[in-house]
Amino acid sequence: MASDYSLHSRFFFASKQKVQDAINAGTVNQWDIVLCSDTQEMLLINEDFDLIPIHSKVYRFVNIATAEEFLNRALDTYQGQLVSILDTSSGTYRAYIVNHNGARYYVTPISVYSAGDIDYDQIGHRPIEQLYGNVADPVVLSELDNGLYKVNGSYKVCDGLITIFQSNGDHVIMIEHNDVGTEDENTTIKVITNTSITNYTVDNTSNVTETEYYATQEWVKSQGYMTESDFDAKIQALDIMTREEALEYIQSVLREGVETIVYDVFDETFNTRFDIRLGESMQSEDNESVARLFNE
């Protein structure tokens, strides 16, 4: 009787490149599992004869003690194995690596392998190149490739400028070569410190053709100069009147003065004269005059 392959699985050991040939020949069927001798992969053949890789499981533990107890009992524990252990303070899992001291397995957090153990100068694709110079052999900035540098010790802008600058490692320098291979070839150099920014333009004969200097606010303060914001703050602190406030005050004084003059001079004189005229107009008429007014 033919076997029902949907009810069981068989294990095979073969190279990965021969798995498809075995499926085509009917040797390997649905739900069979193949351990590849060449790649060490474990493959499951599903109902559509697709190859489904079975990945190893990363064990998860709630604390280090539980992890080490389990790992020393398990048969599949090995040095270099990665496990996840819960960090109760943050509620997230952290990666640990399994080591062996000759007697038992223990775990070490991967975070202990910190950047402090890494030599920065040995890292590839460094964002900032660190350079070192001295008075006898200073770093010549114009000869550097395009990029971002941090200089320790002595450096020169170019051979055409004899000035040697000193840096304690706090000078960041940007180099950019422009119009390379043409008559207009030049190099732009920007030197950034904690107190200033200086731009140099060096031509193809190592002569500085242009220099721009920008003082930072910290440098201005260190020299005892007052910044615009400082000046505004001091002005606001003084009890003085601005132009707008003075104009408004003068207008209010003039307005009050005009109102006083109108009331005290014009209004009073007008009221007096009006009362006189009104009194003259309101004289009483005799009876004969009233009768004549209605009978005529």
* Residue 96 pLDDT exceeds 90: yes
Same domain, 43 and 78: no
Same domain, 191 and 150: yes
Residue 4's pLDDT is 57
Question: Which CATH number belongs to the domain containing residue 24 in this structure?
Answer: 3.40.1620
Same domain, 151 and 201: yes
Domains: count for the chain: 4
pLDDT above 70 covers a percentage of the chain that reads: 75
Rg of the chain taking only CA atoms, in angstroms: 48
Q: Which residue has the higher pLDDT, 210 or 290?
A: 210
> Which structural domain range is residue 69 located in?
60-113
Residue 112's pLDDT is 53
Residue 155's pLDDT is 92
Residue 206's pLDDT is 79
Same domain, 70 and 146: no
Q: What is the pLDDT of residues 174-215, one digit of tens each?
A: 999 998 888 888 999 999 887 788 889 998 887 887 677 777
| CA 39 – CA 14 distance, rounded (Å) | 10
Binned at pLDDT 50, 70 and 90, residue 249 comes out as confident
Same domain, 170 and 209: yes
Same domain, 217 and 132: yes
As given in the structure block, the two tokens for residue 260 are: 């006083």
Of 190, 222, 254, the position where a domain reaches its end is 222
Same domain, 195 and 252: no
| CA 203 – CA 188 distance, rounded (Å) | 9
**Residue 18 forms part of a structural domain:** yes
Contact in structure between 171 and 193 (CB atoms under 8 Å): yes
Of 89, 113, 137, the position where a domain reaches its end is 113
Q: What is the pLDDT of residues 58-81, one digit of tens each?
A: 889 999 999 999 999 988 888 989
pLDDT above 90 covers a percentage of the chain that reads: 15
Q: Which residue has the higher pLDDT, 125 or 253?
A: 253
* Residue 5 pLDDT exceeds 60: no
**Residue 14 forms part of a structural domain:** yes
**Residue 231 forms part of a structural domain:** no
Q: What are phi and psi of 121, to 5 degrees?
A: -70, -15
> Considering only CA atoms, which of 159, 219, 221, 214 is closest in space to residue 191?
214
Of 179, 195, 222, the position where a domain reaches its end is 222
Q: What does pTM read for this prediction?
A: 0.37
> Considering only CA atoms, which of 204, 196, 184 is closest in space to residue 142?
204
Same domain, 265 and 211: no
| CA 19 – CA 45 distance, rounded (Å) | 10
* Residue 282 pLDDT exceeds 60: no
Same domain, 102 and 135: no
**Residue 234 forms part of a structural domain:** no
**Residue 282 forms part of a structural domain:** no
Residue 65's pLDDT is 93
- The per-residue b/e assignment along 271-284, b for 16 or more CB within 10 angstroms, e otherwise, is eeeeeeeeeeeeee
Binned at pLDDT 50, 70 and 90, residue 2 comes out as very low
In sequence order, what E strands does the chain have?
Answer: 11-14, 33-36, 42-45, 51-53, 60-61, 82-87, 92-100, 105-109, 129-133, 139-140, 147-156, 165-178, 186-192, 196-203, 208-215
Q: Which residue has the higher pLDDT, 296 or 136?
A: 136
| CA 113 – CA 206 distance, rounded (Å) | 46
**Residue 188 forms part of a structural domain:** yes
3-state secondary structure of 268: helix
- Please provide the average confidence, as pLDDT, over all residues in the chain: 79
Residue 68's pLDDT is 94
Residue 238's pLDDT is 66
Contact in structure between 112 and 97 (CB atoms under 8 Å): no
> Considering only CA atoms, which of 87, 78, 109, 112 is closest in space to residue 96?
109
**Residue 88 forms part of a structural domain:** yes
Same domain, 44 and 68: no
Residue 250's pLDDT is 78
Q: Which residue has the higher pLDDT, 40 or 144?
A: 144
* Residue 107 pLDDT exceeds 90: yes
Same domain, 218 and 166: yes
Q: What is the pLDDT of residues 140-174, one digit of tens each?
A: 999 888 888 888 899 999 988 888 998 887 888 99
Side chain identity at 188, as an amino acid letter? T
Same domain, 162 and 196: yes
**Residue 108 forms part of a structural domain:** yes
